[in-house]
């Protein structure tokens, strides 16, 4: 018989696999027993059920975060840092089981899942340190008998809403800086992947994060709007940090307006990946494969439009297609697999629609183009050539293993094409012409530019977008600013003479 989990399970797997939400330091079920299934996308089997919480439970979680805030805030930054450091150590120690859980609920290959767990831990490690460096300021005074002092304070209770494509690292990237700054958090993880969030809560509890400081409220797709509404309108939630679609980001932004909350939004992208004639072709092929097919193309920073200059277009298309054909598709727990299943049927439908639309408008299929024999949510890695700006892939995130190749002639043309989108998250280009490197880097209207390098995300660098890709930055020393209020103290009446 097939089971939802096929790989041999490490001893700690069962401890980390939870079927309850985590509110106020307690593992809780829905009061009426309402729950929803978490499915393994590789085989369609139910892994477990988790509570389908609603507005009332979101409210309770917020109240617990409100109660926990004064104590957590008053703790020395160094002591909070020590607890976060323990959380990091526990995540690293349990990386195999966390990765197995992640791969089972999300589909990505085990090695990628492990990489994500460790990169998520790196955020915790980074902010465990960074929380101790939230420095204030003194400003030269404008009055002889006064002093101008700037202090920094945690914003308060933070609501975090996270997506399914990086079920572990998207959480730590928000929760770690929030906790390091002295904020408390209510997290609503994505309905497709709540298990990684709950496993992180198990380890947070073990690390000594006090009750109410970090809460995880699970909810189905149907209940997400009700939970989201409480999180974005409750007057004691001071900040909302969201990663997900631009569409939902706009809803949360509108809702947050009623109480003027601080907002961090990491939204959709439609990344251009530009290869100039001067590029190192092998490196560009390698980079495009990594950028496009990691997580089966389900990342907000993955190449969505691959622009190749005409001098190398045919050669690039040949080399790239050869590599794509060789990618191994299969369940995440199978050895050597590079491309796992997509998350659900709507994801498959969208990929298919993008391919049909491109072909109807003249795109040439170089490989793939259909479902994969590994199962109903698997899709063949696909390459389309002769793409044009009229096609849907040019405007929308495909979020699947489909690479569209566009031919271009000169630098000005490709910059115009690359910027011709409402999005502005990640962009990439390959060039060995130093003047061109700086011209193009400065002309791209994006929050991030990978130059001869496709892997942008790291705990020490600022991740985020411009335009409709969002507001705020995650990671790096900038990442903590989003969880801090600046307070200005004017101390007057100081006697100038003794
Ligand atoms: P994706 O396209 O990656 O599934 P979504 O924006 O739909 O992105 O989902 C990202 C997160 O937002 C998930 O946790 C999801 O449950 C949540 N979500 C979706 N709709 C709403 C809503 N109306 N209010 C609050 N959260 C929502």
Q: What is the pLDDT of residues 3-52, one digit of tens each?
A: 455 566 788 999 999 999 999 999 999 999 999 999 999 999 999 999 99
Residue with tokens 């390091």: 180
376 has a pLDDT exceeding 50:
yes
Percent residues over pLDDT 90 in the chain: 97
Q: What is the pLDDT of residues 282-293, one digit of tens each?
A: 999 999 999 999
In ligand 1, which atom is closest to the CA atom of 251?
23
In ligand 1, which atom is closest to the CA atom of 188?
14
Among 353, 352, 338, residue whose Cα is nearest residue 115: 338
- Asked if 215 and 185 count as a contact pair (C-beta separation under 8 A), the reply is yes
**φ and ψ at residue 32, rounded to 5 degrees:** -105, 10
Among 257, 226, 223, 218, residue whose Cα is nearest residue 240: 257
302 is catalytic: no
- Asked if 172 and 59 count as a contact pair (C-beta separation under 8 A), the reply is no
To test the pocket of ligand 1, the residue of 38, 161, 240, 398 to mutate (highest count of ligand atoms within 8 Å of its CB) is 161
Q: What is the pLDDT of residues 41-85, one digit of tens each?
A: 999 999 999 999 999 999 999 999 999 999 999 999 999 999 999
Mean pLDDT over all residues of the chain?
97
Compute how many other C-beta atoms are within 10 angstroms of the C-beta atom of residue 14.
10
- Of 130, 266, 468, 474, the active-site residue reads 266
Q: What's the gap between Cα 242 and its chain centre?
A: 9
Q: What is the pLDDT of residues 344-355, one digit of tens each?
A: 999 999 999 999
Helix (H, G, I), strand (E, B) or coil at 263: strand
> Residue 343 and residue 31: Cα distance in Å, rounded?
29
pLDDT (0 to 100) of residue 4:
59
Structure tokens at 185: 């958090």
In ligand 1, which atom is closest to the CA atom of 161?
14
In this structure, is the dihedral angle defined by the CA atoms of residues 196, 202, 208 and 213, taken in order, positive or negative? positive
Burial letters 350-389, b for 16+ CB under 10 A, else e: bbbebbeebeeeebeebbbbebbebeebbbbbbbbbbbee
**Ligand 1: lining residues by beta carbon, under 6 Å:** 161-163, 188, 190-191, 224-225, 228, 244-245, 248, 251
CA of 352 to the centre of ligand 1 (A): 22
Structure tokens at 41: 């996308």
266 is catalytic: yes
Name which residue sits closest to atom 25 of ligand 1, judged by CA: 228
Name which residue sits closest to atom 7 of ligand 1, judged by CA: 245
In ligand 1, which atom is closest to the CA atom of 165?
3
Q: What is the pLDDT of residues 124-165, one digit of tens each?
A: 999 999 999 999 999 999 999 999 999 999 999 999 999 999
Percent residues over pLDDT 70 in the chain: 98
């Amino acid at each position: 018989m097939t089971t939802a989990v096929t790989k041999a399970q490490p001893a700690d797997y069962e401890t980390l696999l939870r079927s309850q939400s985590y509110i106020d330091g307690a593992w809780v079920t829905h009061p009426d027993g309402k729950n929803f299934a978490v499915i393994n996308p590789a085989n369609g089997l139910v892994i477990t059920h988790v509570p389908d919480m609603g507005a009332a439970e979101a409210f309770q979680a917020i109240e617990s975060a409100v109660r926990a805030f004064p104590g957590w805030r008053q703790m020395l930054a160094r002591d909070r840092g020590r607890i976060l450091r323990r959380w990091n150590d526990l995540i690293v120690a349990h990386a195999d089981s966390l990765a197995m859980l992640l791969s089972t609920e999300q589909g990505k290959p085990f090695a990628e899942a492990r990489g994500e767990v460790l990169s998520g831990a790196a955020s915790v490690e980074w902010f465990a340190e960074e929380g101790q460096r939230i420095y204030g300021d003194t400003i030269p005074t404008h009055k002889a008998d006064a002093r101008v002092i700037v202090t920094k304070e945690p914003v308060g209770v933070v609501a975090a809403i996270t997506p399914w494509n990086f079920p572990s690292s998207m959480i730590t990237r928000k929760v770690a800086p929030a906790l390091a700054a002295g904020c408390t958090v209510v997290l609503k993880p994505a309905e497709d992947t709540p298990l990684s969030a709950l496993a992180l809560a198990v380890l947070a509890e073990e690390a000594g994060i006090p009750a109410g400081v970090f809460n995880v409220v699970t909810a189905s797709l149907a209940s997400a709007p009700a939970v989201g509404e409480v999180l974005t309108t409750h007057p004691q939630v001071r900040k909302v940090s969201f990663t997900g679609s631009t569409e939902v980001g706009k809803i949360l932004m509108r809702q947050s307006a009623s109480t003027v909350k601080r907002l961090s939004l990491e939204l959709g992208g439609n990344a251009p990946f530009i290869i100039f004639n001067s590029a190192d072709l092998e490196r560009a092929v390698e980079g495009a494969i990594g950028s496009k097919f990691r997580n089966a193309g389900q990342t907000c920073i993955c190449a969505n439009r691959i622009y190749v200059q005409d001098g190398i277009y045919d050669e690039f298309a040949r080399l790239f297609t050869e590599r794509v054909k060789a990618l191994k598709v299969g369940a995440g727990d199978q050895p050597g697999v590079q491309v796992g299943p997509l998350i659900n049927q709507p994801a498959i439908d969208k990929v298919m629609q993008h391919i049909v639309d491109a072909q109807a408008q003249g795109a040439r299929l170089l490989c793939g183009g259909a479902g994969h024999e590994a199962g109903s949510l698997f899709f063949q890695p696909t390459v389309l050539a002769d793409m044009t700006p009229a096609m849907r892939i040019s405007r929308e995130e495909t979020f699947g293993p489909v690479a569209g190749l566009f031919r271009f002639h000169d630098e000005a043309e490709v910059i115009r094409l690359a910027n011709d989108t409402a999005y502005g998250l990640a962009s990439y280009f390959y060039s060995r012409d130093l003047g061109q490197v700086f011209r193009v880097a400065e002309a791209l209207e994006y929050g991030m530019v990978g130059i001869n390098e496709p892997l942008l995300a790291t705990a020490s660098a600022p991740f985020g977008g411009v335009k409709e890709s969002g507001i705020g930055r995650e990671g790096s020393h900038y990442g903590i600013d989003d969880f801090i209020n600046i307070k200005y103290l004017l101390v007057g009446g100081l006697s100038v003479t003794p």
